Amino acid sequence: MFVLSLIISAWLLLFITFCGIGLIIRRYFGLKVYGVENLITSFWIGWAYAIFFLQLWNLLFRVDWLPLVIISIMAILGLLWNYKDLSSLFESKKFIGIFFGFILILTAVWIAELAALPILNTDSGLYHLNSIRWAQTFPIVPGLGNLHGRLAFNSSYFLYVAALEVGLWLHRTQHIANGLLMLVLFMQIYISAIRIFRCNCKLPLSETL
């Protein structure tokens, strides 16, 4: 349970961080936060922009703890900029329901149990971990694919994983990186299912078939 609580706590911090980045982008376009769906959208926007930033960073520098600090600072600014919208969201009943929260907690524990397992994917040992280590050690290396073809796949996801290789999660990011994305995806699925169920319940039976 201690390990699972660490994983879920890391997910919560990362979710808040990427939401903060996404909120900056939304606010720039004049979009406010009206519900939990907007928070999830902000997460995906923030995650995408964080990877874009890491790609630019890796052109000149290795991906170490510094870009994560910069991303975190930007996230804090985004949260402060949208403080009024977020506070009104948390105070209202629109944020989260009891049933949704219960299902989400169970899902988080289930995914955390899977994330706590050792790496079983053969490709991870073949080139995933090597690509992450290159990003941690050097700026982008022209011709790296000549060393091994799979190192030329240019998967930007590995930069995201490399940025998390700090502190407690050094050489342990496989336990938190992908599980967070799965959890947010399930959040979207649950919210969409609840919306569909509520809409169908308000319609006559003939219109739901």
pLDDT value at residue 205: 37
Judge contact between 103 and 129, C-beta under 8 A: no
Does residue 206 fall inside a structural domain?
A: no
pLDDT in tens, 154-185: 789 999 999 999 989 998 999 999 999 999 99
Distance from chain centroid for Cα 174: 13
Counting as low any pLDDT under 50, the low residues of the chain are 203-209
Does residue 174 fall inside a structural domain?
A: yes
d(CA 50, CA 44): 10
pLDDT value at residue 155: 87
Does residue 113 fall inside a structural domain?
A: yes
Distance from chain centroid for Cα 136: 20
d(CA 45, CA 19): 8
Does residue 88 fall inside a structural domain?
A: yes
Put simply, whether the predicted model's pTM sits higher than 0.85 gets the answer yes
Q: Which residues, including other chains, have CB under 8 Å from residue 70's CB and lie 6 or more apart?
A: 53
pLDDT value at residue 204: 45
d(CA 207, CA 209): 6
Does residue 208 fall inside a structural domain?
A: no
Judge contact between 141 and 164, C-beta under 8 A: no
C-beta neighbour count of 86 within 10 angstroms: 18
Does residue 176 fall inside a structural domain?
A: yes
Does residue 189 fall inside a structural domain?
A: yes
Instruction: For residue 192, give both structure tokens.
Output: 């969409």
N- to C-terminal Cα separation, the chain: 44
Provide the domain count of the chain.
1
pLDDT value at residue 201: 58
Does residue 207 fall inside a structural domain?
A: no
Q: Domain range for residue 26?
A: 2-198
Judge contact between 39 and 82, C-beta under 8 A: no
Judge contact between 35 and 97, C-beta under 8 A: no
Q: DSSP secondary-structure letter at 124? A: I
Integer CA distances (angstroms), 28 to 3, 32, 73, 138, in order: 38, 10, 17, 33
